[in-house]
Amino acid sequence: MALRENRQDARYSFTSDVIVDNSVFTTCIDISLGGLYIKTTKELDESAVVSVRLPAFEFTINAVVRFSRKNEGTGLKFEISSNEQWNRLVSIIDTVREQPGDSFEKPTLLLVDDDKKFRDQLKSNLNEQGYSVVEAKDGMDAIKQMNIYPFHAVVTDLYLNRIDGFKLIELIRDAPNHKDKPIIAMAAKSDQPTVDQAMRSGANYFIEKTPELLIEVLKTLRIILGGVSSN
């Protein structure tokens, strides 16, 4: 769809997660082609260049802090660096314009696997089904990502480098902010000792890595998170 009104001061509101550098806010956002305004709980440095990510739209862009007042709001001016970014921004605003005031928060998954090819393919398939995906290449990376990005559920392999999946699940269960998050464990083998250890660690579900993995993961996600419309 083409944006019918290309004025930079035409603003549209919606509710979603927004990540500014490493700070996560779930808030009402006013967005335009020039930038966005968000409610913030802390003050950002004026004139600083920050990274802005809208997980619901899989969109990241740099912006300059124009003003910021603690517990009031922050105004950000986009730094558009390419035609691709411009076209993506136009598409986002057009979507918001068609559904004013709606919530665009997608269920976000933390996907942990040390096989990049497998991880990329599963992420692509999950994106097509309407999920936002945060990737981690091993257990240590997963700990880092879970302290930065919000997520609704975890999909993790059990046999990982550095911190294995069993220990990772235990650490998630010990984290106050994440202890109740649903966890799907995966492994290439489904012998009973592996399944039992995964469940003792705190996994909610176990899925064997077979050609039907995606189907089983999607079925399980629909049970724990509800239905999601594909893009």
- Does one domain contain both 127 and 38? no
Question: Does residue 138 share a domain with residue 52?
Answer: no
Q: Do 47 and 71 fall within a single domain?
A: yes
Q: Would 5 be classed as within a structural domain? A: no
Distance CA 49, CA 41 (A): 18
Domain at 79, CATH number: 2.40.10.220
Does residue 134 sit in the same domain as residue 213? yes
pLDDT at 3: 35
Q: Is residue 167 part of a domain?
A: yes
221 & 113 share domain: yes
pTM metric for this prediction: 0.62
Name the residue range of residue 46's domain: 12-98
Residues 209-213, mean pLDDT to the nearest whole number: 92
Give φ, ψ of 53 to 5 degrees: -125, 130
Beta-sheet strand order (sheet of 205-208): 132-136, 108-112, 153-157, 183-187, 205-208
**How does residue 41 score in pLDDT terms, banded at 50, 70 and 90?**
confident
Q: Are 152 and 198 in the same domain? A: yes
pLDDT tens per residue, range 17-34:
888 887 777 677 888 888
pLDDT tens digits along 121-161: 999 999 888 888 889 999 999 998 888 777 889 999 999 98
Query: How confident is the model at residue 128, as a pLDDT?
Result: 85
82 and 133, same domain (yes or no): no
Single residue among 98, 117, 136 that ends a domain in this structure: 98
Q: Which of 41-45, 87-91, 222-226 has the highest mean pLDDT?
A: 87-91
Residues 90 and 116 in one domain: no
- Boundary-marking domain end, from 98, 129, 148: 98
CA distance 110 to 123: 10
3-state secondary structure 28-42: EEEECCCEEEECCCC
**Residue 140 to residue 202: CA distance in whole angstroms:** 18
Does the residue 6 lie in any domain? no
- Number of domains observed in the structure of the chain: 2
pLDDT digits (tens, 9 = 90+) for 88-111: 998 888 888 776 555 556 788 999
Is residue 18 in some structural domain?
yes
User: CATH no. for residue 123?
Assistant: 3.40.50.2300
128 and 207, same domain (yes or no):
yes
